[in-house]
Amino acid sequence: MKKLALALAATVVMTAPAMAADVEAGKAKSVMCAACHGANGVSAIPMYPNLAGQKEAYIAKQLKDFKSGTRKDPVMGSMAMPLTDADVANLAAYYASLK
């Protein structure tokens, strides 16, 4: 039973990064976000949300919504504008991976 659980956990751990985007690339890109969202995704300013540990799919959706203007925020709109789909996926994976 324990072995089975271990095997299961191992597959989950191994498949997760395979499906996920490039966390390292996300980390590199996040330098431009750090001023507001904190170096490790924990922001020091109450009006700027923490991103550390947030759901990957949720972060990606928000960035796309900021970019398309579906979610309106003057600051984040201009931050999200230059991001490519790959950037969005990588950033989402990076922030979701943080605690």
Residue 49 binds to ligand HEC (criterion: CB under 6 A) = yes
Q: Is the dihedral of CA 48, 30, 57, 54 positive or negative?
A: negative
Least gap, CB of 77 to ligand HEC (angstroms): 9
Q: Is 73 in the site for ligand HEC (CB under 6 A)?
A: yes
The answer to whether 99 and 51 have CB atoms below 8 angstroms apart is: no
Q: Which does 91 bind (CB under 5 to 8 A by kind): other proteins, ligand HEC, none?
A: ligand HEC
Among residues 75, 81, 84, 86, the one that binds ligand HEC under rule CB under 6 A: 75
Q: Which amino acid is at 62?
A: Q
Using the rule CB under 6 A, which residue among 21, 23, 37, 93 binds ligand HEC?
37
What sign does the dihedral 85-89-94-95 (CA atoms) show? Answer: positive
